[in-house]
Amino acid sequence: MTDKAFIEYAKAHQHEALIPGGALEPTAKHDYVGAAVVVRGALFFRNAADPAVRDAIAQCYEQYRAVAKDELKWLWQDGKQPVKLKSGKLPADLFTAYSDKVALTAYVTSGDTAADAGFWHFQVFGQQRWREERPHAGLNTLTFSTSLLYVAENPATFQKLFVDFARRLNAASGYAGYAVNLSLATTAANVPTEYQLAKQMIALDVGEPLLHAARLRNGIKTVGWLTALNKELLEKAGGLDTLRNELPPDWFALYDLNSGVVIQAGRRPESGSPAHDDENGPPVPPASYVILNAALKSVRVPSVWQLQVGQTGSAAPYFATTSESDDWLRRFDVPDQQLFEYKAKLLQMPVLDAEYTLPDRL
């Protein structure tokens, strides 16, 4: 798909990317936006109770707000009613004035009503210091998203946000690509919608990242358009020279992450939808993701226990078992002989250039 065609496609499908609430739950309410197909980044980091890290979170939000502008309309916090925002402006010191004995929660969304899912969101969950100091504590989470159209019309801005955020937070790991924002008011009723979309788009991220953070202390959940590894994970993956050998620079860009690395796979995120000439066929794994997945096999976690948490008693399917969830983690795995076929497919993809990458490539 040409760049112009991609932008036109994104414009034409904006409305379809907003899905009514409880779409696959017949007895649920449907008078709100339950799910929005987006491009989303997820970053996992440590030490959320430290003042320097909380200041870094605040800086990330202000950088994001400068891009999102008036799109940001609602603030949710655990245990509180949603608050209407003006131009995304948050209460003073929201991120920095917290006690380290209290979890940091802030979920900013762009729905027309507080219940609506939207294309734009910035969410952070930081653990209390005492909880994070436990031997088997999970990681903290920051996620942010934009519309597909925004990424199409601004081909390097999302990468800039992701890399800058990862550096500020000294992220342990992270990824970005196609995902689904669900209504914060009624998440469980919209989990089956996310499940159905994931069956159609193999590269779509599944599940709420903060629910998986406990399983990502020593590895990554998945690869995506953007994938972040800290120094320890990069060394575990074989180091920078090994990745350079596996990931040709015409299709993969590498950026420094405080001696770790952020990897960009291709010009833009891929959905992994069925081929254009076979819309009813199986989803097609993007060649760049399959190759990256193989290169990072040594740092992928074997399980996240359960990808989704659905509605009790629901007949609609979702990733409710460990077995099916772990199969999803392995969705880009192919036998070694097939990997050569994907490398051949990569040669047919558009190459990266300065318009689609950041200037500080490694």
- Integer Cα distance of 227 and 294 in angstroms: 13
pLDDT given at position 191: 94
The Cα 79–Cα 124 span in angstroms is: 15
Residue 66: the pLDDT is 98
* DSSP β-bridge partners for residue 105: 125
Strand partners for 176: 41, 226
Predicted TM-score (pTM) of the model is: 0.95
Q: What is the pLDDT of residue 279?
A: 77
| 3-state SS, residue 337 | helix
Asked whether 269 and 225 are in contact (CB, 8 A), the reply is yes
Alpha helices per DSSP H over 157-212: 157-169, 191-200, 209-212
The rounded radius of gyration (Å) of the Cα atoms in the chain is 19
pLDDT by residue, tens only, the chain of 362 residues: 556 666 676 666 677 899 999 999 888 889 999 999 999 999 999 999 999 999 999 999 999 999 999 999 999 999 999 999 999 999 988 998 878 888 999 999 999 999 999 999 999 999 999 999 888 889 999 999 999 999 999 999 999 999 999 999 999 999 999 999 999 999 999 999 999 999 999 999 999 998 899 999 999 999 999 999 999 999 999 999 999 999 999 999 999 999 999 999 999 999 999 987 677 889 999 999 999 999 999 999 999 999 998 877 788 889 999 999 999 999 999 999 999 999 999 999 999 999 999 999 99
Residue 27, classed as helix, strand or coil, is coil
CA pair distance 262, 230, nearest whole angstrom: 9
